[in-house]
Structure 1
Amino acid sequence: MQLLLAVFMCMCTVSLSLPRREAASFAKQLLIRRFEEEKTSSGRANNNNVTQPSTSYARCLLCKATISIVNEFLSKAKSGDNLVAILKFGCKTLRIETEAVCNGIIPLFKDMLFTVISQSPLSPHDICSIVFNNECGELTEKSNWTVATSGVPKPPVKPISVPSDSAPKLRIAHITDTHVDYQYAPGSNANCADPLCCHTDSTQKKGSSVGADNAGFWGTYVTCDIPERTLISALKYIEKQVKPDYIYWTGDIISHNVWQTTREGNLRQFNRTLDVLRMYVPDVKVIPVIGNHEGVPVNSFPIPQITGRFSVTWLYESLADVWSHYIPEQNLKTFRKGGFYSYDLSSTLRVISLNMNYCNTYNWWLLINSTDPTDQLKWLTNQLQECEDKGIKVHVMGHIPPGQSDCLSVWSRNFNDIVNRYENTIAGHFYGHTHFDEFAIFFDKENTTRPFATAYVAPSITTFYSGKPTFRVYDVDGIYDNSTYQVLDIETHSMNLEEANRHPTDMYSPTWDVIPSIKQHYKLDSLRPEAWAKYVERIRVDEGAFKDFFAMYMKQLPNITYTEEDRKMLLCRLLRTRSEMPCQP
């Protein structure tokens, strides 16, 4: 039993990196049951019905026991080498992952894990409450912090004016979660035992048919990331057909081979991605965001007090150098400090790019100190106050949506309070991370039935645990005096993957199918928050409308079904931007 407890804490590092791992999430259970027979000692089912998640009580008991065991072990040992050997043995013996993954993931995470546990001032209760986002009880006062406000009273809420049809518009492409895999091999095994497949060394999964699940030339649903040619196809299409004014790129460049990542490998991929962007969309300014997969190990974003070999400076400095092609150096000073920055697209529109990894519950460095690392939220408040004073509108960008259960609840609460205060100033929210085509509605803190903003959560280019390579294009109220800069309509562009894979040659140009107007497709009066809230209520009672939304949400993934519990879970997610409000089936 002690072996299982010890292995648990380290091995959740594999699962934490996958978008399907939002605790008790609808998408997690749906995709796992449809495409993968789970590799755990409890034997999760492989069927077309969502399985019930493990209870919070058992999860918290296991977590607290694990923390206590590791603490005791480390206090009596001069190093963690013996514990690493135990973890490797347990990982392999219990078949939590394949031998290759066990041998890679544990050494990669061990030093961070041991350092965090030994330096964390928190009790096992608070540690587990942070990791599982309050499932293990309320945070104690030490961990339940509040960011100071500007002190300026909130002005009256201004109704959003309706732009005239002839008003100028901006076209903004939103790309997220590209996850290009440079080990992707067409014809390789796409149904393997590892967390990521479609590599030359991907082993056949027990019980699967040889040759039945081979990797396609342009991509493969669910179990694989994408080859570079698929990203290039998207960029060529964007350059020739979409012709955007800007590209919002909301993070996650690196593939899901989390047991093999290195700093050197990530740096190569950052530079290669810039080369591809400059080659295929040379005249479009890209506004980037840092994702959770950019760290090494995945989700590792040390707080400022962590220096030396664990310091995150290498990452911020390297990405700042890469992104300086698009963002002026004076704007990147805060990025070199904490991975966030602002940039003015015009004299009346500012983009704020946030580092959402400081809300990431799987960023274990937050267990040492989670209180607004690098003062990012304080900086955000100052930026928004400045924009309010000057009459500048703001687009807020980030990777992890603030309502995701892997966004720390205390961070999410502070963030929601800030954006609620500055709702007159913020014209749009843009996120990625989930891989699905979705949105989430912000509700007023005082009048909890009043929607005041919409978070646009874009679908991924990668096919990993989702459907077709997909991106969005926003029609935005354009640059002119008194522009609202609100999103007026959305186009959704998806690669026809099945057709593309019938043409296994780089000479072929895949077809990208487009839904030209989400407003028309969903029968919305507008894209204002209240219209989205009414839409959620409509699909709650209209089965046909929900089926249509579900197909869009899953990026046209074939043969996916859902239960009534799934439906309730998803509807809840659409109405949640505060992660302290968990969605339960």
Structure 2
Amino acid sequence: MLRKVQPSMWRCQLMWGLLLLTAVPSRAKLGTFWHVSDFHLDVNYTAGDGDVTKMCWKKAGGYDGAQPGTFGDYECDAPLALVESAVDAMERIHPNPDFIMWTGDDTAHVDDNSLTNVLKNRFPNADVLPVLGNHDYYPKNQLPPTENDLQTKVADLWKTWLADEYADFKSGGRYYRDIPNTSVSVLALNTLIWYKSNQVTAPETDNDPAEQFKWIDDTLTELAKRKRKVYIMGHIPPGTFERYQQKKEGFHWFQERFNKKYIEMVQKHANVIKAQFFAHHHTDSFRLFFNATDATRPVSYMLLVPGVTPWRSSLSEETGANNPGIRLVTYDTDTGLVKEISTYYLDLTQANNNNRADWKLEYNFTKNYQLNAINPTTLYNLTKTMKTNRTLFDRYYSANTVNLEKPEVCQEKCQRLHWCAITEVDYERFSQCNAASSTSAWAAGTLVAAVVLILRPW
């Protein structure tokens, strides 16, 4: 026998049910992707007792008599054993990512086919989103802003990944991709045409080579109308290199006019850009972008992924080497917000001694930096705390070379350099920040009054 429910009781039950539904927050749908870069595969690398002329394509400071190990050497680019171990680790740790960001400098001086096949074979179902690095073109750095033979060959090599984007990549080295079943779109840029070492685009007769800035503006405007959440990826980053102490004005990569235009682009489209992912430094760091009219309000951030190559840079003494690193990013597929960044690394010395590549979790970003979220505001608060909290800065510095260098080697001048590089992407503002105070004044968190008027409030 059915029990008759009174209308008033039915309405009460319905209202109570609706209250329960609204009281329970909806669970975010989380996705993941790998970000890897700067493999610098050297097919001539020879471990053990081999021909020293074939050990490395370059050995900084000349050959010292030491034989490189199976998985690499801090003076050399990556052997195939190291590259395969990195991809093995990716497959073991998280075999089913939504996609893979592959941000260049992969086979600097040899045929690109071998590394491409490694990724294809291990991740046959993943979208791989690649861009060219400055060493992925010959002669290095000199990529023209127009369609060229090498770029066409690379486009053909990556055609299975970039079927819909093939034409854009072939003609301009850039494209965008909507990630399936998410609200996220990835904008892949050709940063080589903005590189200061690219003599093809160096003459200041063209302020928008290949009209890439116009393409970015048009594309981001359209993606915003579609309510997409955008990640920007590229190889060479804007701003200055955090590990070059020899210049108060900073050591940078973009031609200055392109650096300014990039900052303006980010400021204009900050609402749709959820994060930026770049490489080239081989180090682990991040950058902040601020509102065009309010220099105290951060609006966007960039993450710099460490390299797989352990090669010791010959740029300057302090640029140093690094342990190999790879990165897994967890994100909200609806909002595009980055929820976690997990960096894995290989202790290269230990791997060679044990003849086994044991990739381990180096750190989780939120736990390491005691953050409840990853966004421009929390990262800015982190940098302000790092300025006077040496313990927190030491965690950052350990991560910077992927757990290789000890933090005590970075004292006040070095610490200031990192802080200014993170907070001042504009070249002039970086120079003002880096040259503004004596080391003792900076360490104490104070600046002379005249400089305070110029710099962003600390």
- Given that 2:287 and 2:423 are in contact with CA atoms closer than 8 Å, whether structure 1 keeps it comes out as yes
Change (3 A) 1:529 1:214: same
Looking at structure 2, the residues matched to 294 and 449 of structure 1 have their Cα atoms a distance apart, in angstroms, of 38
1:487 matched residue in structure 2:
338
Q: Does 1:556 align with 2:409?
A: no
Q: Does 1:225 align with 2:77?
A: yes
Instruction: State the AA in 2 paired with 1:565.
Output: K
- Given that 2:277 and 2:302 are in contact with CA atoms closer than 8 Å, whether structure 1 keeps it comes out as yes
1:427 matched residue in structure 2:
274
Structure 1 residue 390, shift from structure 2 partner: 1.5
Looking at structure 2, the residues matched to 200 and 503 of structure 1 have their Cα atoms a distance apart, in angstroms, of 25
- Given that 1:358 and 1:370 are in contact with CA atoms closer than 8 Å, whether structure 2 keeps it comes out as no
Instruction: State the AA in 2 paired with 1:287.
Output: L
Looking at structure 2, the residues matched to 218 and 180 of structure 1 have their Cα atoms a distance apart, in angstroms, of 12
Structure 1 residue 425, shift from structure 2 partner: 0.9
Q: Where do 1:235-314 residues align within 5 Å?
A: 235-243=87-95, 244-255=97-108, 261=109, 265=110, 268=111, 270-304=112-146, 313-314=148-149
TM-score where L is the length of structure 2: 0.79
Instruction: State the AA in 2 paired with 1:293.
Output: H
1:61 matched residue in structure 2:
none
Looking at structure 2, the residues matched to 413 and 575 of structure 1 have their Cα atoms a distance apart, in angstroms, of 15
Structure 1 residue 559, shift from structure 2 partner: 5.2
Give the 4+ runs in structure 1 shifted more than 6 A. 200-204
Looking at structure 1, the residues matched to 25 and 49 of structure 2 have their Cα atoms a distance apart, in angstroms, of 53
Looking at structure 2, the residues matched to 552 and 525 of structure 1 have their Cα atoms a distance apart, in angstroms, of 19
**Tell me, what secondary structure is at the counterpart of 2:326?**
strand
Q: Does 1:357 align with 2:174?
A: no
- Given that 1:402 and 1:579 are in contact with CA atoms closer than 8 Å, whether structure 2 keeps it comes out as no
Q: Does 1:450 align with 2:297?
A: yes
Structure 1 residue 254, shift from structure 2 partner: 2.4
1:323 matched residue in structure 2:
158
Instruction: State the AA in 1 paired with 2:88.
Output: K
Instruction: State the AA in 2 paired with 1:569.
Output: L
2:413 matched residue in structure 1:
565
Structure 1 stretch displaced more, 367-376 or 386-395? 367-376
Structure 1 stretch displaced more, 573-582 or 277-286? 573-582
- Given that 1:235 and 1:281 are in contact with CA atoms closer than 8 Å, whether structure 2 keeps it comes out as no
Change (3 A) 1:182 1:165: farther
Structure 1 residue 189, shift from structure 2 partner: 9.2
Q: Deviations over 1:135-185 (max 9, x none)?
A: xxxxxxxxxxxxxxxxxxxxxxxxxxxx96831111111001110111111
Q: Does 1:337 align with 2:198?
A: no
2:45 matched residue in structure 1:
184
Q: Deviations over 1:21-62 (max 9, x none)?
A: xxxxxxxxxxxxxxxxxxxxxxxxxxxxxxxxxxxxxxxxxx
Q: Does 1:476 align with 2:331?
A: yes
Looking at structure 1, the residues matched to 311 and 160 of structure 2 have their Cα atoms a distance apart, in angstroms, of 29
Change (3 A) 1:187 1:370: farther
- Given that 1:185 and 1:200 are in contact with CA atoms closer than 8 Å, whether structure 2 keeps it comes out as no
Q: Where do 1:352-391 residues align within 5 Å?
A: 352-368=187-203, 369-391=205-227
- Given that 1:219 and 1:225 are in contact with CA atoms closer than 8 Å, whether structure 2 keeps it comes out as yes
2:27 matched residue in structure 1:
166
Q: Where do 1:394-433 residues align within 5 Å?
A: 394-404=230-240, 405-433=252-280
2:86 matched residue in structure 1:
234
The structure in which a higher percent of residues are helix is 1
2:353 matched residue in structure 1:
502
Structure 1 residue 199, shift from structure 2 partner: 3.2
- Given that 1:285 and 1:326 are in contact with CA atoms closer than 8 Å, whether structure 2 keeps it comes out as yes
- Given that 2:183 and 2:335 are in contact with CA atoms closer than 8 Å, whether structure 1 keeps it comes out as no
Structure 1 residue 383, shift from structure 2 partner: 0.3
Instruction: State the AA in 1 paired with 2:69.
Output: G
Q: Deviations over 1:476-496 (max 9, x none)?
A: 002xxxx21111111010013
- Unmatched 5+ residue regions in structure 1? 1-162, 256-260, 305-311
- Given that 1:188 and 1:199 are in contact with CA atoms closer than 8 Å, whether structure 2 keeps it comes out as no
1:348 matched residue in structure 2:
183
**Tell me, what secondary structure is at the counterpart of 1:337?**
helix
Change (3 A) 1:189 1:531: farther
Looking at structure 2, the residues matched to 515 and 502 of structure 1 have their Cα atoms a distance apart, in angstroms, of 19
Looking at structure 2, the residues matched to 516 and 565 of structure 1 have their Cα atoms a distance apart, in angstroms, of 26
- Given that 1:438 and 1:553 are in contact with CA atoms closer than 8 Å, whether structure 2 keeps it comes out as yes
Looking at structure 1, the residues matched to 428 and 144 of structure 2 have their Cα atoms a distance apart, in angstroms, of 23
Equivalent of 2:56 in 199, 219, 231:
199
- Given that 1:172 and 1:475 are in contact with CA atoms closer than 8 Å, whether structure 2 keeps it comes out as yes
Structure 1 residue 188, shift from structure 2 partner: 6.3
Looking at structure 1, the residues matched to 49 and 32 of structure 2 have their Cα atoms a distance apart, in angstroms, of 38
Aligned residues: 387
- Given that 1:392 and 1:425 are in contact with CA atoms closer than 8 Å, whether structure 2 keeps it comes out as yes
Looking at structure 2, the residues matched to 303 and 511 of structure 1 have their Cα atoms a distance apart, in angstroms, of 41
Change (3 A) 1:175 1:202: closer
Structure 1 stretch displaced more, 468-477 or 276-285? 276-285
Looking at structure 1, the residues matched to 279 and 49 of structure 2 have their Cα atoms a distance apart, in angstroms, of 28
Looking at structure 2, the residues matched to 407 and 363 of structure 1 have their Cα atoms a distance apart, in angstroms, of 10
- Given that 1:515 and 1:521 are in contact with CA atoms closer than 8 Å, whether structure 2 keeps it comes out as no
Instruction: State the AA in 2 paired with 1:227.
Output: P
- Given that 2:237 and 2:253 are in contact with CA atoms closer than 8 Å, whether structure 1 keeps it comes out as no
**Tell me, what secondary structure is at the counterpart of 2:201?**
helix
1:120 matched residue in structure 2:
none
**Tell me, what secondary structure is at the counterpart of 1:351?**
strand
**Tell me, what secondary structure is at the counterpart of 1:199?**
coil
What is the RMSD of the two structures over their aligned residues, measured on CA atoms?
Answer: 2.5
Change (3 A) 1:293 1:370: farther
Looking at structure 2, the residues matched to 414 and 204 of structure 1 have their Cα atoms a distance apart, in angstroms, of 37
Instruction: State the AA in 2 paired with 1:566.
Output: C
1:392 matched residue in structure 2:
228
* Identity among equivalent pairs (%): 26
Looking at structure 2, the residues matched to 188 and 548 of structure 1 have their Cα atoms a distance apart, in angstroms, of 38
1:123 matched residue in structure 2:
none
2:18 matched residue in structure 1:
none
Change (3 A) 1:380 1:200: closer
Change (3 A) 1:293 1:200: closer
Change (3 A) 1:412 1:205: closer
Structure 1 residue 398, shift from structure 2 partner: 0.7
- Given that 2:184 and 2:229 are in contact with CA atoms closer than 8 Å, whether structure 1 keeps it comes out as yes
Structure 1 residue 335, shift from structure 2 partner: 1.3
- Unmatched 5+ residue regions in structure 2? 1-23, 241-251, 313-320, 436-458
**Tell me, what secondary structure is at the counterpart of 1:461?**
coil
